[in-house]
Structure 1
Amino acid sequence: MTARAKCSELPGAVCVMSPGAADLVLPKELRERLASHVRLVSRGDRFQAGALADAEILISGWGCPRLTADVLAEAPRLKAVMHAAGTVKSLVSDALWERGIVVSSAADANAGPVVSQTLALITLAARRTLAMAAGYAGGWPATADRRGADGLTVGIIGASRIGRRVITELVRADAGYEVLLYDPYVTDEEARGLGAHRVPLAELCRRSQVVSVHAPQLRETTGLLGSGMLALLPDGGALINTARGAIVDTDALTRECATGRIEAYLDVTDPEPLPPGHPLLSLPNVLVTPHIAGAQGSEIRRLGEYATAEVVRWVSGEPLLGEVTREALARLA
């Protein structure tokens, strides 16, 4: 059997991502690894004419069009989608599930940087960094105004893959954090297993010096942190949001932060981005970053490594580690 014949027996794969993303997500060495398991039929930022006809695997990423019934009609052999990014909610459709196409997400690979960013922000919030920095122009802050992390109560909203990892790291830390958790889908026993104490949302807001949001954006979580809940945060407390902006009522948060009573560390907002001149962009007790908690720069390669490993598993008949099911999707970010 010739090398060409052997190659022709490999399953066809199409890679569709935003311009420039593919080179970051799938650098040369990962493409070479893929070439040992699939025939990369096409690479680009859109579905090229006829490219899907022979594809059994789609490697998707940022910018990949939604997999509607019309798109899938051009892909009669498609059996698996390996998404080299986080959420697949904007990608999948009912038509995809009805075809029985397997879907995998690299959300676990994207979680690591978000966890690291969150832990850094918790450390900053624990020390009331924004308030200390804003007041420094007026002289050395009084000892009574300083706060450390030891014994701090941190409230985690959402036992997502990121929320769980943040809890684990907080429990491992030597600061003696008390970790509270709000998640209606987690039992008291499961929370204790994570090292957290499950409480109602109002209690979490009332008792936590730092509240960090890690819930998915669902109908029931949109506006979850409105004026009533934000008002419960203690004076000098802080809100961190690296999840989805719409979980927090932007107007209510703006009013609370304008008083100087609490700090906010926001990697996501609603709307996103905030319009020029929005008060949250200039308040000294608010830090807004442009959705950078996820994989950035050199970290983006992690997504490609994860997706490539999933392709190898699928071709080898092994279980996928990042499989997303239709039933689970409703509760995922």
Structure 2
Amino acid sequence: MPTSLPSAALLTGQHAYDIVFPQSIKEELSGLCSLRVDGVTPPDLALHADALRGVEFLFTSWGAPKLDAANLNLMPKLRAVFYAAGSIKAIVTDEFWSRDIPICSAWAANAVPVTEFTFAQIILGLKQVHRFSAVIRSARAKAWPEHYEGVGAFGTTVGLVSLGQIGRRVAGMLKQLEVKVLAYDPFCPPHVAKELGVTLVSLEEVFARSRVVSLHAPWLKETENLITGALLESMPLGGTFINTARGAIVNEPEMIAVLQKRHDLNAVLDVTWPEPAAADSPLYDLPNVFLTPHIAGSEQGECARMARYMIDEFHRYLHGEPLLWSVTREAAARMA
């Protein structure tokens, strides 16, 4: 390691500055590099022009400065960017990619809480837990929903749509249960699916055979409205659909129509489109819809994990070790 500390900048939105980089993380970062700029991203980055001129490394997160020509020109010595959050789509530009500056993302750290949330909802879905609250409140007594058969994890089938970082993690956790796992992912190599204990099938088969289906596809132009009403309609009685990905991947009007007709189906929606759902959306009134406000990913104390990943990555960079979380232009295009 060099005798003098490398120069760096920490620039994020206020929310990220407080929870992604808590004081303990900031102190550790200060021991690894000389923070020439340490604060909230200003509307005009040129306010820090003098300090940024010598910056070699940029640490950032939600509320990051746009990596366009104007801002990059303020950091002519920039050697690498460490983004303590998930998708980098909102900050990278053609100009950034043309400069061949490495960028690392904590997308894998953010996948951890999404996986945990999903696994919990799958188990609850297999027990049809989400349906009980309305039924018991209505009966004001011990009661069970209709089509309460074949419940539980033993010998049942769970479906996953996409085997990216989160889908693969969920598949790994499902090995704890005695379930069969089906997955749709046209890009997943067969040997990877085999290692995960997953059977690759068509999208239609995932929905028709699975008691619980969890969506993990990225939001791309090609995936918009991928999940149709017909797919949801084909689910077994008492089925549960979980969406922790993006609302636009689901044809929401068709989903609502199916849920209005199929009261036995349940939808666990951490995301909607638009987000939040419009005030007059039927999603708020349907008893078989379980809504959460996009909390599956890193929240509060979980957020510091993302900074932890980027500090560890910075260590690897300084020691000339292979980077684990470097993102290429091609990979960034496939991110949610």
**1:179 is the counterpart of 2:174:** no
1:165 to 154, 169, 176: 169
* Structure 1 gap segments, 5+ residues each: none
1:156 matched to 2:160? The reply is yes
What pairs with 1:78-117 in structure 2 (closer than 5 Å)? 78-117=78-117
Q: Distance in 1 between matches of 2:29 and 2:74?
A: 23
Show the counterpart of 1:237: 239
| Letter of the 1:233 counterpart | M
Matched, 1:35 2:58: no
8 Å Cα contact 2:148/2:238 also seen in 1: no
**Secondary structure of residue in 1 paired with 2:268:** strand
- Mind listing any 5+ residue stretches in structure 2 that lack a counterpart? none
Q: Distance in 2 between matches of 1:288 and 1:149?
A: 23
- The residue aligned with 1:219 is 221
| Post-superposition CA distance 1:135-158 (Å, at most 9, x none) | 113243359725222222110001
1:53 is matched with: 53
1:234 Cα offset (Å): 2.1
Q: For the Cα contact (< 8 Å) 2:135–2:144, is it kept in 1? A: no
Deviation of residue 37 (structure 1)? 2.2
> Alignment partner of 1:26: what SS?
coil
Paired with 1:299 and 1:37, the residues of 2 have a C-alpha distance of: 23
* Percent of residue pairs identical: 41
Matches within 5 A, 1:254-293: 254-259=256-261, 260-293=263-296
1:40 Cα deviation from its structure 2 partner: 0.7
SS at match of 1:225: coil
Alpha-carbon shift at residue 301 of structure 1 (Å):
1.2
Aligned equivalents of 1:20, 1:178: Cα separation in 2: 41
State the partner residue of 1:71: 71
1:162–1:214 CA contact under 8 A, matched in 2: yes
Alignment pair present for 1:19 and 2:23 = no
Q: CA RMSD in A?
A: 1.7
Aligned to 2:200: 198
Structure 2 CA distance for aligned equivalents of residues 130 and 23 of structure 1: 34
Q: Secondary structure of 1:287's match?
A: strand
Aligned residue pairs total 325
How far apart are residue 324 of structure 1 and its match?
Answer: 0.4
Letter in 2 for 1:186: C
Residue 128 (str. 1) matches residue 97 (str. 2): no
Once residues 251 and 189 of structure 1 are traced to their aligned partners in structure 2, the CA distance between those partners, rounded to angstroms, is 37
Answer whether contact 1:210 1:237 (CA < 8 A) is retained: yes
Q: Distance in 2 between matches of 1:325 and 1:129?
A: 41
Deviates more, 1:252-261 or 1:195-204: 252-261
- Where does residue 119 of structure 2 map in the other structure? 119
The whole-number CA distance in structure 1 between the counterparts of 2:65 and 2:282 is 35
Note closer, same or farther for the CA distance 1:12–1:277 as it changes in structure 2 (3 Å cut).
same
Residue 68 of structure 2 contacts residue 93 of structure 2 at CA under 8 Å; is this kept in 1?
A: yes
Equivalent residue for 1:332? 335
CA contact (8 A) 1:130 1:284 kept: no
Secondary structure of the corresponding residue to residue 78 of structure 1 = coil
Partners in 2 of 1:191 and 1:118 — Cα distance? 19
Match of 1:54, SS?
Answer: coil
Kindly provide the amino acid, as one letter, of the partner of residue 253 in structure 2: D
Residues 158, 213 of structure 1: 8 Å contact kept: yes
Distance in 1 of aligned mates of 2:268 and 2:27: 41
Aligned 8 A contact 2:247 2:272 in 1 = yes
- Going from structure 1 to structure 2, the CA distance change for 1:198 and 1:108 (only over 3 Å counts) comes to same
Runs of 4+ with deviation above 6 angstroms = none
How far off is 1:159 after superposition? Answer: 0.5
Deviation sequence 1:170-190 (CA, Å, 0-9, x none) = 0122xx111001000013332
